[in-house]
């Protein structure tokens, strides 16, 4: 049995809540080829973020 595997890329982006719709729109418009391999965008909440170097938290760490 021959199986053709496609290479895939995983991109993770964390943005402020107010920017989610715009970022999703831009990625969708830029990445759309019309083929079934275009991929998916998952929008999930991020509970917290801490910048290790400075210990900044939440919005300040972005």
pTM > 0.75: yes or no: no
Digit-by-digit pLDDT tens for the chain (62 residues) are: 777 777 888 999 999 999 999 999 999 999 998 888 889 999 999 999 999 999 999 888 87
Cα separation of 2 and 25, whole Å?
A: 37
Please say whether the beta carbons of 46 and 14 come within 8 A: yes
Q: To which residue do tokens 């989610």 refer?
A: 20
- Residues whose CB is less than 8 angstroms from the CB of residue 60 and which lie 6 or more positions away in sequence, other chains included: 51
Provide the pLDDT for residue 36: 81
Please write the tens of the pLDDT for every residue from 4-15. 777 888 999 999
Provide the pLDDT for residue 40: 92
Domain-by-domain residue ranges, the chain?
A: 17-61
Provide the pLDDT for residue 61: 86
């Amino acid at each position: 049995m021959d199986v053709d595997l496609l290479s895939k890329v995983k991109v993770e982006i964390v943005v402020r809540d107010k920017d989610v719709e715009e970022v999703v729109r831009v990625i969708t418009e830029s990445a759309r080829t019309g083929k079934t391999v275009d991929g998916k965008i998952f929008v999930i909440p991020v509970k917290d973020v801490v910048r290790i170097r400075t210990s900044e938290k939440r919005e300040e760490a972005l």
